[in-house]
Amino acid sequence: MKFVDEAKILVKAGDGGQGCTSFRREKFVPKGGPDGGDGGKGGDVVISGSQNLASLLDFKYRRIFKAEKGKNGSSRNKRGRDGKNLIIHVPFGTVVFEGSSNKLLVDITANQSTCIVARGGKGGKGNAHFVTPTHRVPYEFEPGEPGEEKELLLVLKLIADVGIIGLPNAGKSTLISRLTDATPKIGDYPFTTLSPILGVLREGDNAFVIADIPGIIEGASQGRGLGLTFLRHIERTRMLLLVLDVSATNPVEDYNTLRHELNSYKRGMFSRQRIVILNKADKVSEEKADKWRSALIRKKEEVVVMSALKGLGIDALKEMIKMKDFNKVAHA
Ligand SMILES: Nc1nc2c(ncn2[C@@H]2O[C@H](COP(=O)(O)OP(=O)(O)OP(=O)(O)O)[C@@H](O)[C@H]2O)c(=O)[nH]1
Ligand SMILES: [Mg+2]
């Protein structure tokens, strides 16, 4: 399935129903008092989080969402029926902005899973409301109020505990396939992964949602490559796994690039918990791996040397993820 993480839609809440002008008809009374009922309220447009959705793809095909109008009032003081609310289902992690002002309307999470984004119009008053002692035969009625109409920008930020980040071809997808139940595409070329992938790592009673995103290159924070668009998906993770290819010319330089791009994307992105992974250790000598490991330890990093392809060091990494998360909770 194609992954879509941004969409623009138009929402229109229902207009209120019109009030009614009518007079009672009774035997021997040619014109009774006014009995025109009020119009019903227009339906609201509601955004609601759904477990079953993982992308905003549906919004590529349908962009206009209208809630039902309120019904008009009728005689015998009958109020028109209210319009039905229209519920738009979005994946958890969707942030909703008002298109015209860029104002944040709601961030759909488990804590706030629904929000009215456009309010239906009030129904108009029927002529029964306009009667006074000196105005016994009122013909006045109100039209319903129009429902709100808005352009919305939906932006999906995946909700994951751990984010995997690295230059293209470093072995990120191979790693998530080792850590979780995910089965991503793996290829011996850069930009194999074109959209984020989620997997779940179960460790005893703990479960971590892990996100693998497309590779980051120098300049990603300025929009180069695919990086910037996808950095938003690791914006909210608690922990980062920085994957470096230990057989590259200079893994420490790659580390510096990642650090720079993350910090330029958003301040504080690099200050969260992280583990640096020197991957593809099967391709280099032990001395070489040790050299880069020491260089990164001098930068105060916690480092795991491993081979995602051969499955070496996976258990140690799993343990470290669990311990780090445990420590964080213990110190919170
Ligand atoms: N020798 C060796 N090769 C590996 C290792 N891990 C991954 N590879 C290979 O490196 C290549 C890239 O792996 P991917 O997992 O697709 O890398 P990626 O970081 O997800 O790449 P992009 O999605 O393009 O950014 C594939 O050919 C993998 O088989 C490893 O530990 N050792
Ligand atoms: Mg990949």
Q: Where are the domains of the chain?
A: 1-156, 162-331
Q: Residue 115: is its pLDDT beyond 60?
A: yes
Structure confidence at residue 225 (pLDDT): 67
Buried b (16+ CB within 10 A) or exposed e, 274-302: bbbbbbbbeebeeeebeebbeebeeeeee
CATH architecture of 162-331: 3-Layer(aba) Sandwich (3.40)
Distance CA 47, CA 115 (A): 5
- Whether 1-156 shares its CATH topology with 162-331 is answered no
Which protein residue's CA is at the shortest distance from atom 13 of ligand 1? 171
Q: Whose CA is nearest to atom 16 of ligand 1?
A: 186
Give the 3-state secondary structure of residue 287.
helix
Output the CA 213–ligand 2 centroid distance in Å.
7
Task: Name beta bridge partners: 66.
Answer: 12
Give the amino acid at 145: E
For 228, the token pair is 């910037």
User: Which among 174, 258, 282 is the best mutation to test ligand 1's pocket, defined by most ligand atoms within 8 Å of the CB?
Assistant: 174
Please report the pLDDT score of residue 330 as a whole number: 46
> What is the position in ligand 1's atom list of the atom closest to the CA of 185?
16
Q: How far is the CA of 174 from the centre of ligand 2 (A)?
A: 7
Cβ of 22 below 6 Å from ligand 1: no
What is the reported pLDDT for 231? 84
Per-residue pLDDT band for 1 (boundaries 50, 70, 90) equals very low
Ligand 1 in reach of 282 Cβ (< 6 A) = yes
Q: Which of 43-47, 202-206, 260-264 has the highest mean pLDDT?
A: 43-47
- Model pLDDT for residues 64-104, shown as the tens digit of each residue: 999 999 999 999 999 999 999 999 999 999 999 999 898 99
CATH number of this structure's domain 1-156? 2.70.210.12
